[in-house]
Every structure is written in C-alpha cells, then in structure tokens.
Amino acid sequence: MTLYDRMKRVIAMHPGWTTRHWARAAGLAEESHVYTIMQRLRRNPEATVSVRTLAALAEGADVPFEWLSTGKGDPRSTWIRIDPDPMYPTRAQAIVAARLLGWDSRAIAKVSSVSNLPTDPGLDYWRRLIEAQHVALPRDALTGPLPIAIRADGSGPHTGRRKTR
C-alpha cells in the first residue's frame, strides 16, 4: 500500500472528511496542502513528504505516524472504542481506563456483563471489580499488567503502595 493509498484510507476512515478537513485538523497553513500532496503522490508514488508534514497529518487524523509513513502496524491502533453505558455510565470510564492500562480483556468482559445493580455504584466500584476479576485470573493466563489503581477523582493512576521508612 503506497502513501497515497494510506492517505485515501485515512479520509475514508473519517466519514464526511475532505482533504480540506484533514489539512485543518493537522494545522497546515494551506487548506489545499493535503490535496496537493495526494495529487503529487498519485502521479509519482516515489514523491516524498516531509517528516514534519507527515507527523502533523498523522496527529490530525489520529493515526499512528509509523502506519501513515511506512504502512507498518494498524491505522486504528491508537484508538480505544468507548461504548456508551446508559445503565452504568461510570462503568464505561473504568473500562476505558482498564483498556488503557492493558488489563486482561476477560476481566473487562466479566464486568461488562454485570446488569443486576439498581443504580450506578460509581467509578471506584467498577475499578475495584475489574481489578478483582483481573487478579482472580490464573497468573499464567494474564494478558495485562498487575493491577494499578485508578483514582476516582480522575487524577491518574497510582500503585497504592505506601512508602516505608
């Protein structure tokens, strides 16, 4: 797949996007710049694009720089799908955090299947439940790291360990 083909794919991945939309999202000075690059690449697949421009295009399109520039990897590898959870809204937040931390997908799936609570118990509850499911898996079956606590206030992960003197 050529750079031109990957650029066409990026536009297809963003319904309603044009080359002008992409140029704006990438912060390029000229809205016609993406169109010009694509026309040049269509005529000459060996044409080059500066690293700075490719980096801006990758960031603007939310695709990995490596994929856009070389074709290696997956164009959606930086994406994490967030499924709305109308029954328990804070569960979706905990699931996203668990995915970002690389926790085992089986633990996340078990928590996703919970449907017997009358109200949303809150982010800390879901975090602890995912952690408990993750820890309960056999050590040789784990596909993610050991648990790292996710603060309910959104201030970031921490290990939960206390300093010893």
Per-residue pLDDT at 150 exceeds 70: no
Per-residue pLDDT at 13 exceeds 80: yes
Q: Which of 12-26, 36-50, 73-87 has the lowest mean pLDDT?
A: 73-87
Q: Which residues does 32 contact at the CB level (< 8 Å), separation at least 6? A: 19, 20, 23
Q: What b/e string do you get for 79-105 counting C-beta neighbours within 10 Å, with b at 16 or more?
A: eeeeeebeebebbbbbbbbbbebebbe
Per-residue pLDDT at 165 exceeds 50: no
What number is the average pLDDT over the span 39-66? 90
Domains of the chain by start residue, with CATH: 3-70 (1.10.260), 89-158 (no CATH)
What number is the average pLDDT over the span 33-53? 93
What number is the average pLDDT over the span 70-94? 78
The confidence band for 16, taking pLDDT boundaries of 50, 70 and 90, is confident
The confidence band for 65, taking pLDDT boundaries of 50, 70 and 90, is confident
Per-residue pLDDT at 94 exceeds 80: yes
Q: What is the largest CA-CA distance in the chain?
A: 67
Question: What percent of the chain has a predicted confidence (pLDDT) above 90?
Answer: 36
Provide the pLDDT for residue 36: 95
